Amino acid sequence: MAKALALKGSKRLLHAWAFYDWANSVYSLTVVSAIFPLYLGALFRLEGVEEVAFLGGSIARTPLISYVTAAAFVVIAIITPLLSGIADYLGNKKVFMKFFCYLGGVACMGLYWFTLDNLLWGLFFYFLGVIGFWVSYAMNNSYLPDIAFPEQQDRVSARGFSLGYIGSVILLLLNLSMVLNPGLFGIADHPEQPAAILAMKYSFVSVGIWWIAFSQYSFYYLPKGNRREGARSHIIFNGFRELRSVWQQLKHTRALKRYLGAFFVYSMAVQTVMLIAAYFGESEIAWGSDDERTLGLIGSILIIQLVAVLGATLTAKASRAYGNIRTLVVINFLWVLICIYAFFVRQPVEFYVAAACVGMVMGGIQALSRSTYSKMLPETQDTTSFFSFYDVAEKIGIVIGMSIFALVSQWNNSMRPAALMLGVFFLLGIFLLLRVREQK
């Protein structure tokens, strides 16, 4: 019997869309923020090395992973508009979403074989995981106008965020139990690897299985995609043509153009902090034992997650009282202080304080940045194209931010000067925001 298609705005369809956050958020929390940084540091300590040979030179672990991440986002920035343009015309959005979901899930499982002896293959799996997550996430986001009416979109988007947080925390706590008590899960020491490291490798496999398995519910109910009417010319490069059209239109909207410039500068710093915070904590803080490092780092990640919800709420209230631009200026100034503080952080308690501060401003600046951009868009224009431009600008900013962070860290053999460098970007963001006229 053929499956009955769920109607736009129906509870079943809205829940299926939001449930993809439950499926894929385990990657961003377990792999990006918690277990993989611990695993990478453990590999280096196990081998007793600070640097590894890579492409004819030697490099420390954090600059190495920063360069690989930056390279992945170069690919993401290129292929996302290209695939969006093709999906728009062919109406096969779900095919692309499935492909990159499975690519990311399989890549997570491939991290099981990540070793320093097998470095290039391990980095290749990490590279594919980044691409799989972000492209499938972008495809899922683009479904929102297709499955929900305008008055439903804020609510269902928030539901997705909540489901993602709950699901990722559940799996992270399970993975933490595996790492700290591997014997309870039948994981024993291996002649070449301690049980804790094996547990981390199994964690990567669990993320891939969770991501692929739970995404099936979303794929079952989500429509194939809306096929654009009209001639099928320039299908492949249509997404880039739309981005160029937005760039041309920005010339006539000074406030929006100035705001995008400010966003580009401070967003590259925000996104870099999100991607390297765990690596900073893993290598720069005097944790003591390996178990203390594991508990401390994952505890810090959970603090950020919890406090971010409060920060987003307080930021929303501040923006209503004082305006979006003024609030963003204050948040950027707080980021400057955090970057300065990070330069001096060395003890676990100090890092917990830094994590709480990051959580307080991280949740707010992301939500407020996007809503500020939305409010400044010309009413008569295609908002989809403008948001595609916004997303590409954000990804290019990540490439620049991660590359600069990696270079400064490599030159100084420490991430602390690189943290100060990020503070410079926030200062520049303040200057550029002050040039934006608040819209009423």
Domain annotation covers residue 91: yes
Q: What is the structure's pLDDT at 397?
A: 87
Residue 243 vs residue 286, higher pLDDT: 286
Range name among 94-98, 100-104, 301-305, 376-380 with the lowest pLDDT average: 376-380
- Are both 43 and 188 inside the same structural domain? yes
Residue 1's pLDDT band (boundaries 50, 70, 90)? Answer: very low
Same domain, yes or no: 23 and 55 = yes
pLDDT reading at 200 higher than 50: yes
Domain count of the fold of the chain: 2
Give yes or no: residues 199 and 267 share one domain.
Answer: no
pLDDT per position as a tens digit, 98-147: 999 999 999 999 999 999 988 999 999 999 999 999 989 888 877 777 78
* pTM recorded for the entire structure: 0.82
**pLDDT tens, residue by residue, 75-88:** 998 888 777 767 66
pLDDT band at 153 (very low <50, low <70, confident <90, very high): low
Q: Are residues 337 and 219 in the same domain?
A: no
pLDDT digits (tens, 9 = 90+) for 391-423: 788 888 889 988 998 899 888 888 899 989 999
Judge whether 38 lies within some domain: yes
Residue 339 lies in a domain: yes
Mean pLDDT (whole number) for 339-356: 92
pLDDT (tens digit, 9 = 90+) per residue, 202-235?
999 999 999 999 999 999 988 876 555 555 555 5
Judged against a pLDDT cut of 60, whether residue 3 lies above it is answered with no
**CA 139 to chain centroid:** 15
2 domain-assigned: no
For 6-36, the pLDDT digits (tens) are 677 788 888 888 899 899 989 988 888 888 9
The string of pLDDT tens digits covering residues 316-329 is 788 888 888 899 99
Shared-domain flag, residues 352 and 217: no
Residue ending a domain, choose from 198, 226, 254: 226
Classify residue 232: in a domain, yes or no.
no
Domain that holds residue 398: 237-440
- Indicate the residue among 182, 204, 226 that finishes a domain: 226
The residue-averaged pLDDT of 425-439 equals 87
Task: Please check whether residues 76 and 24 belong to one and the same domain.
Answer: yes
pLDDT at position 369, please?
80
- Mean model confidence pLDDT for the chain: 84
CATH of residue 26's domain is 1.20.1250.20
